Amino acid sequence: MFQKLLLLLSCFLLLSVTPVMAQTSTTSVEPSTTTTYVEPSTTSTSVVPSSTTTITTDNCEGNFDCDLDVDGSDASMFKSDFGRSSLSNPCPAADPCYLCYQIIHLPKTGQTSSYDTGDDGDLEKGAAWPEPRFNDNGDGTVTDNLTGLIWLKDAACFGIRRWGEALNDCDILQDGYCGLSDGSISGDWRLPNRVELESLLDIKFYSPALSNTMGTGQWSQNDPFNNVQPYYWSSSTLVNAPFYAWSVDMLDGIVSGGFKDGGNYVWPVRGGR
């Protein structure tokens, strides 16, 4: 009897207990279906070359001749030195010779006799001289076609002068003096610098080292200059001895310093850049 009561009690306890189970209903996070897709803007501004920009001349093409040698060397140098491209970096249209002004074409010295291999007379480097080399303008002036400088035809008009006097003589020179009928006024003329004065030399000659009008032979009276003398003042001062100025000997082409209170001849010039 007692055993039956224990069995009934056990069954009752088993039926009255509620089992605790693990939760199986987990929440799944689905990707949002409301994500906004951003389309590329249809209002973007496209930058295009201005229709008003026109390059009328591409000077890389070589349709100019700054040094007047008719060989196109200006164009080839323009392109090789500056890397211009008609598409990405066109040459400036305003002044085709602008960069040519930065490139100095040094002329030949005139020397043609060679005294050793590789010397000046052997190589004859430099820009060729124009022919004729000089033009007698018929008004007391002579134009050097190599440099564009205009020289007084009478190369001894002022005689021997001190350096300061030479500067003043050139500054006050004008039409009506020294055989001039060119319309020049005071201030047009000046004493040439050392390089300008040296540019007259033709060192294949001696006594004087100066060519004739054509540039093919030696100077003689009135071809094209008159009264050429040995030593001429330049306007250039010796930087290490400012009481001296450079002078050029037209006899043999020697360039040296002269005491400013000494005396040399005066050869006025005008023009040039």
What is the band of 264 on the pLDDT scale with cuts at 50, 70, 90?
Answer: very high
Q: What is the CA radius of gyration of the chain?
A: 45
Q: What is the mean pLDDT of the chain?
A: 78
pLDDT at residue number 77 = 52
149 and 67 co-located in one domain: no
**CATH number of the domain residue 151 falls in:** 3.10.100
Which domain does 90 fall in, by range? 59-102
Query: What's the CA gap between 264 and 249, in Å, rounded?
Result: 10
Query: What's the CA gap between 67 and 103, in Å, rounded?
Result: 10
Tokens of 198: 């040296």
- DSSP code, position 218: B
3-state secondary structure of 210: strand
226 and 151 co-located in one domain: yes
149 and 71 co-located in one domain: no
pTM exceeding 0.75: no
Whether 128 is covered by a domain: the verdict is no
Tokens of 196: 């300008």
Query: What's the CA gap between 273 and 269, in Å, rounded?
Result: 12
Q: Is the pLDDT of residue 20 over 60?
A: no
Whether 166 is covered by a domain: the verdict is yes
Looking at the structure of the chain, the number of domains it has is 2
pLDDT in tens, 155-207: 999 999 999 999 999 999 999 999 999 999 999 999 999 999 999 999 999 99
- For 97-147, give the DSSP string: TTTGGGS--PBP------SSTTSHHHH--SBPPPSSSEEE-SSSEEEETTT
What is the band of 5 on the pLDDT scale with cuts at 50, 70, 90?
Answer: very low
Q: Is the pLDDT of residue 124 over 70?
A: yes
145 and 225 co-located in one domain: yes
What is the band of 105 on the pLDDT scale with cuts at 50, 70, 90?
Answer: confident
Least confident of 85-99, 137-151, 229-243: 85-99
- Answer yes or no: are the C-beta atoms of 163 and 238 closer than 8 Å: no
Query: What's the CA gap between 82 and 123, in Å, rounded?
Result: 28
Percent of the chain with pLDDT over 70: 62
pLDDT in tens, 58-82: 445 555 555 555 555 555 555 554 5
Whether 187 is covered by a domain: the verdict is yes
What mean pLDDT do residues 201-226 have? 97
